[in-house]
Amino acid sequence: MASNLSPPSSTAHRATRRKAGAAPHADRARPRRERGIRRGRRVLGRYTDRLGHRREIVAQPGLAGSVLVVDRDVPRHADRRLVAHLGADEPVENAALVCASYLENTQRGDWRCRQLTPEDSTTAPFPEPCDAESLAREWDEAAPEPCDRVGRSYRLELLQTGMSIPELRWRGHSPALSAAGPAPVSVREAIACLQDYEPVRTRTLRALLRYRGDGEVSTTVLRAELQRVQHSPIVLNRKLRQVVLATIEREHLSMSEIAIRCGRVKRDASGNESGETSWLARRLGILPEGGRDMPTPWIHSDVLGLISRQGLGISPREVELG
C-alpha cells in the first residue's frame, strides 16, 4: 500500500528588531495560519486500499476549533470514515501524526474506523464524564498490571518515538526474555489480549486526564486509540460465548439449532438442512476465521444482536461486556 504524507509546514525563525512589547512576525502569523488550517480541509496522506480504490486522509474543521481526521475515497469524497477527533487545544501537527499511525496500521489490516456521522461535526471530540477530576485523583501507578492468559502484562509507559517529547502508550511485557524488549500495543490490542475492556479503558482515560494540557507528553495516538474503541461497532464476544455455551448446556440446545434460528442454514446432497455451526463458532471466538491461526475475540455488534435476539431469545445487553 503506497502512502504519501503531506510534509508539515515549517516556520522560518528570524531575529528582528522590534519595539518593546511588540510580537514577532512569526508569532503574529502562526495564529492566523493555524486558524486557516482548522477552518479549511487539507490532505494529510493518500493510499490505495486492498480493492485498488484510491483514498485520502484529510483534516477538516469540527466543533469549537476541533479537527476531524477523515478517511474518504478520492473520486467522489464519499465513504467517509472517522479516524480521529482532535481537540481544539491540540497542535495542528497532531493530525499528521495520527495520519502516519493510521497508514502504518492500515497496511497491517488492523485499523477499523466507523462511518463519519453529521453528529461528529456538532459534538465535543472527547467528552469526559462528570467525575473526571475524581478519576484523575484515583490514578494509581502502583496498581497491579493486567495480565493475559499467557502471562503477558500491560502497562502505560512514556516512550521515545523520535519526537521532541515522549509519547504515552501501552506496552506488552512478556514473561519470557526477549532481545526486542517490551512491544508497544494499541488500546484495542491490549483489550483483545485481555478479552476485557477493563482495566485498560479506565486506566487510559485516567492517564489522558492526568496529562491533559501537559505540553511535555504526547497523548495524541493514545487518545485516538481510545476513541476508536469507544465508537467502534466491533465489540468483544467473550460474554456472548459464555452465555451461548451455558444456554446449550442448560436447555440442551445444539449449535446447529442456534445457527438455524439465526438464518444460517446449509443443505447436504440429499437436501437435509442443518445449521452452519462453523459460522456460529467463528463468531463466538471458538474457531479461527479462515486463514487465521487463533479465534478472534471480536464480533460486529449487529451479529451479536442477531445471535442474542434470534438465536437465544434475549436482549443484546445481556451478552455485551460493559
Looking at the chain, the whole-number percentage of residues with pLDDT higher than 70 is 78
The whole-angstrom separation of Cα 39 and Cα 118 is 17
Q: Residue 176: helix, strand or coil by DSSP?
A: coil
Q: Which residues of 56-90 are buried (b: 16+ CB within 10 A; e: fewer)?
A: bbbbbbbeebbbbbbbbeeeeeeebbbbbbbbeeb
Q: Residue 120: helix, strand or coil by DSSP?
A: helix
Strands 265-267 and 273-275: antiparallel
pLDDT at 24: 45
pLDDT at 249: 94
Is pLDDT above 60 for 31? no
Closest CA to 148 of 203, 192, 188, 182: 192
Residues 213, 216, 221: CA angle, nearest 5 degrees: 75
Rounded to an integer, the average pLDDT of 155-171 is 90
Tens-place pLDDT, residues 94-153:
888 888 888 887 777 656 678 888 888 887 665 544 444 555 455 455 568 899 998 999
pLDDT band (50, 70, 90) for residue 40: low
pLDDT band (50, 70, 90) for residue 271: confident
Is pLDDT above 50 for 38? no
Burial classification of residue 136, based on how many CB atoms lie within 10 Å of its CB (0-12 exposed, 13-18 middle, 19 or more buried):
middle
Peptide bond into 316 cis (omega under 30): no
SS3 content of the chain, % helix, strand, coil (to 5): 35, 20, 45
pLDDT at 199: 92
Sign of torsion over alpha carbons 234, 237, 243, 248: positive
C-alpha cell at 72: 474518504
pLDDT band (50, 70, 90) for residue 14: very low
C-alpha cell at 232: 467502534
Burial classification of residue 271, based on how many CB atoms lie within 10 Å of its CB (0-12 exposed, 13-18 middle, 19 or more buried):
exposed
Mean pLDDT of the chain, nearest integer:
81
- Contact at 8 Å (CB) between 232 and 112? yes
pLDDT band (50, 70, 90) for residue 9: very low
pLDDT at 312: 93
Tens-place pLDDT, residues 201-213:
999 999 998 888 8
pLDDT at 100: 87
pLDDT at 90: 73
DSSP letter at 252?
T
Distances (CA, A) of 294 to 183, 193, 270: 20, 11, 33
pLDDT at 154: 95
CB proximity list for 184: less than 8 A, separation 6 or greater? 159, 169, 170, 171
Distance of CA 163 to the CA centre of its chain: 22
pLDDT at 178: 58
Whole-angstrom Cα Rg for the chain: 24
Closest CA to 188 of 110, 249, 118, 266: 110
pLDDT at 52: 86
Is pLDDT above 70 for 166? yes
Is pLDDT above 50 for 5? no
pLDDT band (50, 70, 90) for residue 87: confident
| In the chain, domain spans | 33-121, 132-232, 236-319
| Residue type for position 183 | A
pLDDT at 141: 55
Closest CA to 105 of 251, 3, 214: 3
The predicted model scores a pTM of 0.61
- Contact at 8 Å (CB) between 176 and 161? no
pLDDT at 222: 93
C-alpha cell at 226: 481510545
Is pLDDT above 90 for 283? yes
121 vs 238, residue with greater confidence? 238
Is pLDDT above 50 for 33? no
C-alpha cell at 189: 490490542
